[in-house]
């Protein structure tokens, strides 16, 4: 496993922010924040402690994205499959979501962060729904960084919802079948108006997408690390960006 990660990482110790911003940054970064529970177990702590530590890492990464001028950040916070976890863990995650918003909202507003959620938040607890809606409303006019939080999100569900919406427009006569194209599909996705991610980071050693942004990742560059999310630091982010900057993105064409 370690040889796999070394194979796809360009050696660049002691990277600085000044070095990173010399080359074009990814416009849109997506992160699967994995490993909170395993981090906690390794330290003999409850899983909730891992999620709380992961929230601190998220705060650090948001701040760094603001500093380097990255305009879009999407994080996978809670999937449609996460409801299968023990009820006490789900309850702790929802409580942490509320706490994070209450604690960070004012600073996010001041820093120009726009909060946007993707997924079906109507199935969340009422307190979580109200806090999320408040955060979206109060940051709606910000534009320095769009922080897109995937909550009760599933990539297959997103595609199905888009297809159903398009089918409804066709059935009503408002949309001719012959005019349906890629742009039509993207207009009906949860992420409408947001560019596809340039770079995906997944922590904790897993090498799968876990039903995340299945349409949007068509030409995204992937970067995996064995580091658990609570241990993910700014220098790890810089390493991922550095590796991305030295890849050739041909989008199916030639160099």
Specify whether 121 is located in the same domain as 53: yes
pLDDT of 249: 83
pLDDT of 57: 98
Distance CA 91, CA 120 (A): 17
pLDDT of 155: 98
Residue 177 lies in a domain: yes
Specify whether 51 is located in the same domain as 105: yes
Task: Please provide the size of the chain in residues.
Answer: 255
Its pTM stands at 0.93
pLDDT of 251: 77
Task: Check if the beta carbon of residue 241 is closer than 8 Å to that of residue 218.
Answer: no
Specify whether 126 is located in the same domain as 233: yes
Question: Token pair for residue 131?
Answer: 């806090």
Specify whether 83 is located in the same domain as 124: yes
Specify whether 125 is located in the same domain as 168: no
Residue 41 lies in a domain: yes
Count of other CB atoms within 10 angstroms of residue 49: 18
Specify whether 77 is located in the same domain as 160: no
pLDDT of 12: 52
The set of residues, in sequence order, having a beta carbon less than 8 Å from that of 195 and lying 6+ positions away, is: 27, 28, 72
Specify whether 45 is located in the same domain as 159: no
Specify whether 79 is located in the same domain as 182: no
H or E segment and range at residue 201: strand 199-202
Range of the domain at 61: 24-141+221-242
Q: Which of 150, 158, 82 is nearest to 115 (CA)?
A: 150
Parallel, antiparallel, or unpaired for β 221-224 and 145-153? Answer: unpaired
Domains identified in the chain, total number: 2
Residue 196 lies in a domain: no
- pLDDT tens over the chain, length 255 residues: 555 455 445 555 578 999 999 999 999 999 999 999 999 999 999 999 999 999 999 999 999 999 999 999 999 999 999 999 999 999 999 999 999 999 999 999 999 999 999 999 999 999 999 999 999 999 999 999 999 999 999 999 999 999 999 999 999 999 999 999 999 999 999 999 999 999 999 999 999 999 999 999 999 999 999 999 999 999 999 999 999 999 988 777 776
Specify whether 123 is located in the same domain as 227: yes
pLDDT of 250: 79
Specify whether 75 is located in the same domain as 174: no
Specify whether 40 is located in the same domain as 113: yes
As annotated, the active-site residues are 34, 82
pLDDT of 7: 47
Residue identified by tokens 């999100």 is 153
Specify whether 166 is located in the same domain as 234: no
CA angle 210, 206, 9 (to 5 degrees): 120
């Amino acid at each position: 496993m370690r040889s796999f990660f070394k194979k796809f990482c360009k050696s660049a110790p002691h990277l600085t922010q000044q070095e990173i911003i010399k080359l074009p940054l990814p416009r849109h970064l997506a992160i699967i924040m994995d490993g909170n529970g395993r981090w906690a177990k390794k330290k003999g702590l409850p899983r909730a402690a891992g999620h709380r530590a992961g929230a601190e890492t998220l705060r650090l990464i948001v701040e760094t994205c603001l500093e380097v001028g990255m305009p879009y950040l999407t994080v996978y916070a809670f999937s449609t499959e996460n409801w299968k976890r023990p009820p006490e863990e789900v309850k702790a995650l929802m409580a942490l979501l509320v706490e994070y918003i209450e604690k960070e909202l004012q600073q996010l507003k001041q820093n120009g962060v726009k909060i946007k959620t993707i997924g079906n938040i109507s199935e969340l607890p009422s307190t979580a729904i109200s806090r999320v809606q408040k955060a979206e409303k109060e940051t709606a006019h910000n534009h320095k960084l769009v922080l897109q939080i995937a909550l009760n999100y599933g990539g297959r569900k997103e595609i199905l919802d888009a297809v159903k919406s398009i089918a409804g427009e066709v059935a009503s006569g408002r949309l001719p079948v012959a005019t349906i194209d890629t742009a039509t599909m993207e207009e009906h996705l949860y992420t409408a108006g947001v560019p596809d991610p340039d770079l995906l980071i997944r922590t904790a050693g897993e090498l799968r997408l876990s039903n995340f942004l299945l349409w949007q990742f068509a030409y995204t560059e992937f970067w995996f690390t064995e580091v658990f999310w609570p241990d993910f630091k700014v220098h790890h982010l810089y390493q991922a960006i550095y590796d991305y900057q030295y890849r050739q993105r041909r989008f199916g064409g030639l160099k």
